[in-house]
Amino acid sequence: GGKMEGLIIKNISNDYTVLANNNYYNCKARGRFRKDNIIPLVGDHVVFDEKEKYIKEIKTRKNMLIRPSVANIDQALIVTSVKEPELSTVLLDKMLTIISYNNIKPIICFTKTDLLNAKEILEFTKLKDYYESIGYQTVINIEKETILKLFKNKVTVFTGQSGAGKSTLLNNLDKNLTLKTGEISKVLGRGKHTTRHTELFQVASGFVVDTPGFSSLDFNEMTKMDIRDNMNEMFDNLEYCKYRDCMHLNEDGCMVKEKVNQGIVLKSRYDNYKNFISKGM
């Protein structure tokens, strides 16, 4: 048969929509995957038989999530409102930590900066600069060209609290999506009939993972060490702490708390860190 390589963009029970050379193929999965306990996922790069319409092989994944079930996500855009709803550093830090742990690059996208007054803009700028200084990429939703570049050839997942402006942002990025606004906002977790399946949408020469349940990711499989190691400034910085197995709470010789008191480590990040590791295993 004709062997081809493609990308799974949609899956409903045992029907897989595979995109290859701008064509869509409706394929089944081979029985032996079930035997080997490998289930093809949306986002998988696969080899399939275009005549027989079945998936023969799944290429190595760089990451995968179980709930929502999707593979090979390049980046997550954490859509974070700075006002109405108020900026939640708890949600932001939680998402940054879990997303990094899953080997996905987090990008912070701030929305609604136009609602800030002069004093709030100063505070917001300090916060934004801090996140950048510890290595996170940040954008503001009006920086359309920058965001479009980020999407190119990448698979991106959206997350963030409801009302932060996820669907508005999507519509601004790609005018073709206006037809689907209803679907997509439903899909991004609003609307009563949230779709139960995961799908990749083509947006701005990349893909967006349209998925229920992404913002309910939790620390459930993470140990305290995992949480520490995925909060950038809580580890890796030997000036702050020279002990590899330190949890940066009250240990002698650990400077992290001192750096918090000096305002060098953001207090909200450290408070969130302590709160998160109390939930870790």
Q: What is the mean pLDDT of the chain?
A: 86
Q: Is the pLDDT of residue 33 over 60?
A: yes
**Could you tell me if 139 and 109 are in contact, meaning their C-beta atoms sit under 8 angstroms apart?**
yes
Residue of higher predicted confidence among 94 and 220: 94
CA 158 – CA 42 distance, rounded (Å): 15
pLDDT of residue 189: 54
pLDDT of residue 30: 81
pLDDT band at 90 (very low <50, low <70, confident <90, very high): very high
**Could you tell me if 195 and 187 are in contact, meaning their C-beta atoms sit under 8 angstroms apart?**
yes
What does the pLDDT look like over 91-142, one tens digit per residue? 999 999 999 999 999 999 999 999 999 999 999 999 999 999 999 999 999 9
Average pLDDT of span 148-175: 86
